[in-house]
Amino acid sequence: MGTMRNSKLFGLKMLKYCHKNRPVSLGFTLLELMITVVIIGIVAALAIPSLLGQVARSRETEAVTTLGTINRTQLAHRYEYGEFALIGEITPDGVNEPSVLELPLKPKYYIYRDITIPGTDHVRAKYGAVAIEEYTDTMKNYTAGIRYLPERNNFATVICRANDHTEDNINNIRPRKPSRNSDRWVCSGNSTTIR
């Protein structure tokens, strides 16, 4: 017991002595600063690309939400008038081409327009969201569609996302029927069904 107490006292005395005889430090050494800068650089190099990807994904939610709204508005229009409607072209600056649908949209990152292949009628409507020019390098384009299924007296909807941001032509990623007898939609080209 006494040995343990003596070793604690010796340790405290040693600490006091080292602290008292230590030179006064007025700042950081160049080596300490360089190591800090390197560590911050490594952390930034790892974190910034992930952060930018998250920002782009959060901006893409505008397209998914808006296309879902257009699908629901098309459904209401079809019930009321017996056919689907053209949406025209809706930009952040306003509506460039007249839209039959009353859409209270205020897009910020995308331009919404009709896909004219094969066209809008009483059976189907297709439209897409194209990222505005300043965001085309980071954000993906989207398409959506709604189709009336007379054999079931029901509707099928789909939203498609381009697999990468280099797919600029929304006609290449438009929804389509996989076969004549199918009652579902698939996304064509380099795209994925998300809803």
| pTM given for the model | 0.71
152-182 confidence digits (pLDDT tens): 888 889 999 998 877 778 888 888 877 777 7
pLDDT at 127: 92
The residues spanned by each domain of the chain are 60-193
Looking at per-residue confidence, does 184 or 18 come out higher? Answer: 184
* Pick from 48, 37, 70: nearest CA to 138: 48
Cα Rg of the chain (Å, integer): 31
pLDDT at 134: 79
- Retrieve residue 2's tokens: 């006494």
Average pLDDT of every residue of the chain: 82
Coil, strand or helix: which one is 38? Answer: helix
